Amino acid sequence: MKGQSSRILLLLAFLSASLTGGDSCYEPMDSDPYLYFSHKTAYQLIFNSKFKPVPYCRPTFVWMFIRSGTSYPNTNESLAIRQLHQFKDRVIKNHEERRNGNLCRHVLDSLKRWEFEVNPTSEDDISPQGRMDMQLLARRTKDKMSEVLVKEINKNTFKIYASEDRKVMNSAEEFSKTMFGDDFRYKVPIEKVQSNSSFIGLESCPKWTDAIQNSEASLFRKSPEYMDMVSQISKRLGFLENITDSIVQAMYESCRYNKALVIESYPAWCGLFTRQELQLLEYYEDLDYYYKYGYGSEINTKVGCPIAKELMGYLSAVAKNDSDRPSAVFRFGSSAGLLTTLLALEVAKDPVPLTHYNYHAQYRRQWRMSQVDPFSGNFAAVFYKCDQGDEENKVMFYLNEGVYDYPGCNVGLCSWKFIENKFRHYLRPDGCNDEVCRDRSRASGVRSAVWVVALIPIALAYLRV
């Protein structure tokens, strides 16, 4: 609704400008900027802050997968963003010397002031905002789940796992400090999940690389709609030729990093895109992840198996009143780790796949990375024991702290029997021994098929995203 009214305003502004015959210049609609930047969305903008206890039920076990907090751009991204300093000068020249370009004076001025520097030692590390996200997330979790988290703190009652990636490890530390106190290390050490040589096989997994190469996302970048966007932006910035697609991508990258790193700001580069353009770029990113880490490639759906198996193991221990289990388990990883976990549990699954040609039909997609996999994105499973109602054992899933309305459950509250039945296969001893990497379509045995069992699934979690 808000979006619609701002679109009408935009239209009115446009009409009045053309009616008065003046040179209408371009400026962003500041009243309601579009801030959903796919998997680089600021957590503050999307997390669900409302929490209601479940009546007649008490939480008895918490399991969480948490993506690392807002990070600085990695080396490649920094390089791309740094190029924009030169590009910015060209845009200014277009306006001031060549008298081309449509940006309003104050938009150009804010572009002039734009600068970007990341200390090379901080590249791809967690930022102060990311640390704050982790502290706040830990505090809220502690408040909401106090009944579970009051237990004596030791390495049997709580588990913390993190992959070796620096930003992941730093996120885990920041979260744990708030959750367990500054001296948490002596009580609950962070267990490193090693990314050793067994995991490197993934890039040589034919199915996975095919999925990346045949990417729908690159087709989308060649679609008339996308190319038209590039051409519109080029004109707006005062170029007679079309600027390259990689410059547009760098502008978008700068926009979303600047926003996520300084949450109160409205970054200069964001202001050069229209709302519709930001939505198109968002779809491109969502589409890219749909095939890289999402339902778009069958192999990905198997990758999260060991994590789902672990979760199911804990939940069934709680159901059996097994006292020899931790109260809470916190896993820290990358986007890929979070997403493949969600895949294994069939979360955020759309009935129709995302493709390069169904952008408009996917307007209400579940696979919206800004809502599913923002910076600090997280997924929790909470086991409830209930005094009233049909069943004692219930499970509730939370996505970015909001109740996830799981299909087949009652406004998010699932009967344990339903969950147990649905994911019973993970509990079998051979539950994850699928030959994840074997390419059946080339099964005639020409090549030695790549057989990777059990371990490969965890591998995606260590890829840097």
Ligand X SMILES: *[C@@H]1O[C@H](CO)[C@@H](O)[C@H](O)[C@H]1NC(C)=O
Contact footprint for ligand X (CB under 6 A): 74, 76, 193-194, 196-198, 227-228, 231, 241-242, 320-321, 392, 464
Question: What is residue 213's DSSP assignment?
Answer: H
Q: CB atoms < 10 A from the CB of 263, how many?
A: 15
Say what angle helices 75-82 and 84-96 make with each other, to 10 degrees: 20
| Closest approach of ligand X to the CB of residue 240, in Å | 6
Residue type present at position 292: K
Identify which of residues 102 and 242 has a Cβ nearer to ligand X in the complex: 242
Residue type present at position 148: V
| Closest approach of ligand X to the CB of residue 312, in Å | 16
Write out the two tokens for 182.
């500054």
- CA atoms of 364 and 354, how far apart (whole Å): 11
| Contact assessment for residue 285 and residue 369, using Cβ atoms and an 8 Å cutoff | yes
| Closest approach of ligand X to the CB of residue 241, in Å | 5
Identify which of residues 96 and 228 has a Cβ nearer to ligand X in the complex: 228
Identify which of residues 212 and 263 has a Cβ nearer to ligand X in the complex: 212
Helix and strand numbers (H, E) in the chain are: 19, 8
| Contact assessment for residue 455 and residue 198, using Cβ atoms and an 8 Å cutoff | yes
Phi and psi for 288 in degrees, rounded to 5?
Answer: -55, -50
| Closest approach of ligand X to the CB of residue 140, in Å | 29
Q: CB atoms < 10 A from the CB of 453, how many?
A: 14
Identify which of residues 196 and 265 has a Cβ nearer to ligand X in the complex: 196
- CA atoms of 135 and 141, how far apart (whole Å): 10
CA angle, 209 then 213 then 217, to 5°: 125
Q: How many CA atoms lie within 13 A of 426 on its CB side?
A: 24
Identify which of residues 320 and 425 has a Cβ nearer to ligand X in the complex: 320
| Closest approach of ligand X to the CB of residue 33, in Å | 26
Write out the two tokens for 368.
């919206």
Write out the two tokens for 134.
């982790």
| Closest approach of ligand X to the CB of residue 239, in Å | 9
Identify which of residues 76 and 433 has a Cβ nearer to ligand X in the complex: 76
Write out the two tokens for 174.
């920041």
| Closest approach of ligand X to the CB of residue 230, in Å | 6
| Closest approach of ligand X to the CB of residue 395, in Å | 15
Q: CB atoms < 10 A from the CB of 427, how many?
A: 14
| Closest approach of ligand X to the CB of residue 123, in Å | 10
3-state secondary structure of 293: coil
Identify which of residues 83 and 366 has a Cβ nearer to ligand X in the complex: 83
Ramachandran assignment for 265, one of left (phi > 0), alpha (psi -120 to 50 degrees), beta (any other): beta
Identify which of residues 357 and 363 has a Cβ nearer to ligand X in the complex: 357
Identify which of residues 197 and 441 has a Cβ nearer to ligand X in the complex: 197
